[in-house]
A = this chain, B = another copy of it.
Amino acid sequence: MLNFDYENRTRIIFGKGKQAMVGELIKPYGNKILFHYGGESIKKSGLYDEVRSALEAAGVSYVELGGVKPNPRLSLVREGIRICREEGIDFILAVGGGSVIDSAKAIALGVLYDGDIWDYFLTKKPAGKVLDLATILTLPATGSESSDSVVISQEETQLKMGYHSDKIRPVFSIMNPELYFTLPKNQIANGVCDMMSHILERYFTTTVKADVTDGLCESTLKAIMKNALILNRNHKDYDAWAEVAFAGTIAHNGLLGLGRAQDWACHKMEHELSAIYDVAHGAGLAVLTPSWMRYVYKTNINMFVQFAVNVMGVEGTYRDPDAIVNEGIDRLERFFITIGLPITLRELGMDDSNLELMAKKATWYSDGKETPVGGFQKLSWKDILEIYKMAQ
């Protein structure tokens, strides 16, 4: 196990009807808040009105900023920062999925910063003073409700960049499985794939010994798959949603990667897809992950045998480890298909015209120089191009 230093302040308030507490929960933190959200879905569902009532009942005044889109945009973040400064906002409430929460995190990071918010994403410099934020999660997927990370897209340059800081973990997040009953099937599937990927990126490691987190990763992956199949038949199963939503938080709150070298190649490769094609992050991951696995598994075949046996339930008594691994990857791919995910770039509507560009962008390739991607196996742009081609 590697050394680690872990702290996660996010309070998780989990269960039916808990969104009604939001006003009282915010009171100790904020006098005037930014109520940040996406499109019309929270208005249709009634959540928008519930939140407004709760804030008003608690005497918390607020300014609204809706309009967050998937792959949240830098332009709206800048607008949010401007509003917060003009209105003297001291706290942000994000009501939505990962995009809304990430947009809120970036605004929280920028309000009290003298320079331009994009600096943080380009330089990865330590966060200064940050506004506190909280969330009501409406789409379990990204784990942003208790993670230290934020991903923002710059529209003009088609750059999608991440940033990490413990300071942008929400102070609390409210999770009510009933809020997820109305999600469309493709969003459920994308979310499931995103959270599985958060675990797989941590699981495949060069760290030789990490039994506890190996087991936490494996058992959480199995619980997600089991309950995703239940949701695939009945998207209003409270218990299945509770398991999937809770797993989504655990998948990305940092715990499952403690003391482990991590990978993150699939996320980097996928960010290039969604930056150019604006595809759903989870769908992109479903396409790339099996190909990545087939490309890299010989680097540490034992780790992939363990995955195939412990997670995908392949019988571990075969003679041939390659056969075990390939059966495990095939089963993962079949699981993705079952819940309605794409497994090829073509299904995402992509041809091969940008593969080399994306592979080079992923590694910052320029004048023969590049930054290899991935902790499990270092990938050059040529490796990534191969993986993109395998995923076509």
Contact = CB atoms under 8 A, between A and B. Distances in A.
A212 B216 contact: no
Interface in A1-58: 1-16, 18
A350 interface: no
Contact of A211 (B3, B8, B214, B223): B223
A218 interface: yes
B215 A220 contact: yes
A122 to B, nearest CB: 28
Contact of A3 (B8, B14, B208, B258): B14
A5 B1 contact: no
Contacts of A227: 211
Nearest to A2: B15
Contact of A4 (B15, B215, B258): B15
Copies of this protein in the complex: 2
A6 B16 contact: no
Contact of A258 (B16, B18, B211, B246): B246
B15 A11 contact: no
Q: Which of the listed residues A2, A15, A211 has the most CB atoms from chain B within 10 Å of its own CB?
A: A211
Interface string A173-202: 000000000000000000000000000000
Nearest to A310: B219
Contacts of A85: none
A242 interface: yes
Contacts of A247: 212
A18 B247 CA distance: 31
Interface in A303-324: none
Contacts of A209: 239, 242-243
A298 interface: no
Contact of A239 (B1, B215, B218, B219): B1
A209 B216 CA distance: 18
A375 interface: no
A340 interface: no
A250 interface: yes
B1 A246 contact: yes
A222 B14 CA distance: 28
Closest 3 CB pairs of A and B: A215-B219, A3-B15, A7-B11
